Amino acid sequence: MAATALPRTRGHARPSARRPLGIVPTGVLVLGAIYTLFPVSWVVVAATKSKAELFSTSTFAPGTGLLSNLADLFAYRDGVFWLWLLNTVLYAGGGAVLSTAVSTISGYTLAKYSFPGRGLIFNLLIGGILVPSVVLAIPQYLLFSKAGLADTYWSVLLPQILHPYSIYLARIYSQAAIPGSLLEAGRLDGAGEWRLFRQVALPLLTPGMATIFLFQFVAIWNNFLLPFIMLGDDHRFPLTVGLYTLLAAGANQPSLYNLIITGTMLSLIPLIALFLTMQRYWRTDLSGGAVKS
Amino acid sequence: MRSPKKGARAGRAGAVPYLFLAPAMALFALFMALPIGYTIYLSLRRTKVSGLGLGKGARTEVFAGLANYAAAVGDGELWAGWLRVIAYGALVLALMLGLALVFALMLDAAHVRLARLTRISIFLPYAVPGVAATLMWGFLYLPSLSPFGEHPFLSADLVTFSMANVAVWGGTGFNMLVLYTNLRAVPREYYEAARIDGASELGIALRIKIPILVPSIILTTVFSVIATVQVFTEPTTLRPLTNTISSTWSPLMKVYRDAFVTGDLYSAAATSMVIAGISLVLSFGFLRVVKNRAFGES
């Protein structure tokens, strides 16, 4: 079996001596970074501008209106923006926790047990990658309507738990990180299958689970189509749908631009913070997947 | 190797694997199989109006055969949407995957500086929701706010490029990271041997690194094609800022309009099946190649 050895992230022995500067690669990457940071830095600066400054001062000149913009945003429709933020945390956090749990145990089972129908179940679950979200979102809405659950938190939370790619990743981690001999030894000691999963497999899978959690958290946080279709009451909106309605209401009223820009800026902060603090897991996972592929 | 002991163990596990897979299979049945089946069902139905169409019993649902599919395939507006999305998608795929490949190779190059900082920066848009990305760029495109002067970024001629830019901005970093981590898994000795043979850095990139990356490039292409065919968020979010994007700009937007604005669920269902079919056809060719290498069924 391929997965008996513990994989090690293959480190590159970086030579300790200073190498010469590669002007081309460094230059290309710096240009790329400027391109990606440009709109983000613009929205941060623009959020500090007052209504008048937004259209008059030069693009990257900081303004004086940040506090009043924030006050306006939080006053908008009795603070519905806060609610959008809380809802998003709930959808993304709750959905990602459930999704990680389901993906982990499914991937582990598909990797570590042989049983009739394994190939079929794997192909069914993974085949979901190819199903366009539109084929799902509209009938999901209709079915939730029939069950009386459309326009509820459940209607956004439940359809996002099953995530084929996470199951695929969990299967790869399990193959790579859990030596079959360890499970075998546990069985000889009389441990039950659930206990083996909880006490032997889970600790070994933790880094992979963190990555699956992050992927799913970001995917749900960024999702627009599903909540846009499912929800009608703006008290249950996540940020993406909320910001869209803010734009749809304010596109023709430049006086509302500050509100939209400040809202966009605030909506970036939680995810970028998570993203920067969890750097380690973005990398572990992806290289873990890459080594096996 | 299959030993008797292993067979005995699998027997002992009995129902356990099925129990462990039960949550995933239940979710699959409820939120994947059932909706797909329901879409197929709806796509074969239509509303029959009797009399003046007034009153409770006047509208009934009847079997329509393939009429909705015929209408979807014969719908000029849908085909116009496909053409717009194909032009947009070709642009996005070429630019996004091209840039991702270039950045990955540069990160992996021998004498690069600032690699960590630039890598994080280029990956950062992954953490930005499509709606927020479109809003930021959308405002930057507005002549009254744009630092690029009075270019008509959202005019009928340029709007496809402007929208493609949002998608390229948002998607390059993730694809770059996938390719880069694949490169990192390659033993350095490959390159040392090539260098001893007198290969240049460019030669190593072209002759060794790119061939190694082919399976991941195919995989990222498949996912990008699937995502692009379903483009919805960017044009929908940009629409309030310009009158050059119709409510049926992309096929998916048309499905949304048919289902929720026009209220014709049946043709929306047929159209979404057509979209699913086309994205399956588009990605199936790639996937056949990928299946053995990247999905590594062992």
Binary contact (A268, B127; C-beta < 8 A): yes
Tell me, what's the pLDDT at B2? 43
pLDDT reading at A285 higher than 70: no
Burial of A180 (0-12, 13-18, 19+ CB in 10 A): middle
Residue numbers in chain B where pLDDT is lower than 50:
1-11, 295-298
**Per the CB < 8 Å rule, is A247 touching B237?**
yes
Q: d(Cα B72, Cα B74) in Å, to the nearest integer?
A: 5
Query: A66-80, A183-197, B256-270, B271-285: which range is least confident on average?
Result: B271-285
**CA A81 to each of CA A66, A86, A150, A243, B298: distance values in angstroms, whole numbers, following the listed order:** 16, 9, 22, 9, 49
Count CA atoms closer than 13 A to A128's CA, side-chain side: 28
Q: What is the pLDDT of residue B199?
A: 86
B106 to A114: CB separation less than 8 angstroms, yes or no: no
For A102-126, what is the mean pLDDT? 92
Q: Are strands B45-49 and B59-63 parallel, antiparallel or unpaired?
A: antiparallel
Which residue has tokens 């440009």? A38
B252 touches chain A (CB under 8 A): yes
B-chain CB neighbours of A287 within 8 Å are: 181, 184-185
DSSP B222: H
Model confidence band, residue A19 (pLDDT cutoffs 50, 70, 90): low
Structural domain boundaries enclosing A198:
48-292
Instruction: Measure A181 CA to nearest chain B CA, in Å.
Output: 11
Give whole-number Cα distances, B180 to A78, A182, A286, B105, B186, in Å.
Answer: 46, 32, 9, 7, 10
Contact B232 A114 (CB under 8 A): no
| Candidate from B34, B35, B121 with C-beta closest to A37 | B121
Instruction: Answer whether residue A6 is part of any domain.
Output: no
Q: Do A132 and B230 touch (CB under 8 A)?
A: yes
Strand partners of residue B62: B46
Count of helices and strands (H, E) across chain A: 15, 0
What pLDDT, on the 0 to 100 scale, is given for residue A9?
Answer: 42
Contact check, Cβ <8 Å, A42/B119: no
ipTM value, please give it. Answer: 0.84
Q: How far apart are the first and last CA of chain A?
A: 15
Cα separation, B230 vs B85, in Å, equals 9
Q: Is the pLDDT of residue A289 over 60?
A: no
Whether residue A275 lies inside any domain: the answer is yes
pLDDT at B124: 92
Q: In 3-state terms, what secondary structure has residue B140?
A: helix
Residue A89's pLDDT is 95
Q: Is B275's CB within 8 Å of A132's CB?
A: yes
Separation in Å, CA B239 to CA A36, B107, B168: 23, 37, 19
pLDDT of residue B224: 86
Q: A245-281: buried (b, 16+ CB within 10 Å) or exposed (e) per residue?
A: ebbeebbeeeebbbbbbbbbbbbbebbeeebeeeeeb
Q: How far apart are CA B123 and CA A283, in angstroms?
A: 11
Summarize pLDDT for A87-102 with one digit per residue, the tens: 999 999 999 999 999 9
Number of domains in chain A: 1
The CATH number corresponding to B73-293 among 1.10.3720.10, 3.40.50.300, 1.10.10.10, 3.40.50.11540 equals 1.10.3720.10
CB B244 within 8 Å of CB B159? yes
> In whole angstroms, what is the distance from residue B274 CA to residue B285 CA?
17
- Beta carbons of B20 and A126 less than 8 Å apart: no
Q: Are A279 and B123 in contact (CB under 8 A)?
A: no
In CATH, what number is assigned to the domain containing residue A82? 1.10.3720.10
Confidence (pLDDT) at A215: 87
Q: Which of A2, A35, A159 sits opposite B298 (nearest CB)?
A: A2
Residue B132 distance to chain A (closest CA, Å) = 6
Q: Which of A278, A291, A93 is nearest to A173 (CA)?
A: A291
In-domain check, residue A209 = yes
Collect all residues of chain A within an 8 Å Cβ-Cβ radius of residue B23. 101-102, 105-106
Encoded amino acid at A225, one letter: L
* Chain A residues near residue B185 by CB distance under 8 angstroms: 10, 287, 290-291
CA-closest candidate to residue A161, choices B233, B279, B36, B25: B25
Residues 181-240 of chain B with CB under 8 A from chain A are 181-182, 184-185, 187-188, 215-216, 219, 223, 226, 229-230, 232-233, 236-237, 240
Please tell me the predicted confidence (pLDDT) of residue A130: 74
A53 part of a folded domain: yes
Distances in Å between the alpha carbon of B210 and those of A14, A157, B97?
22, 40, 13
- B residues 83-122 lying closer than 8 A (beta carbon) to A: 99, 102-103, 105-107, 109-115, 117-122
Domain boundary assignment for chain B: 73-293
Residue A43 lies in a domain: no
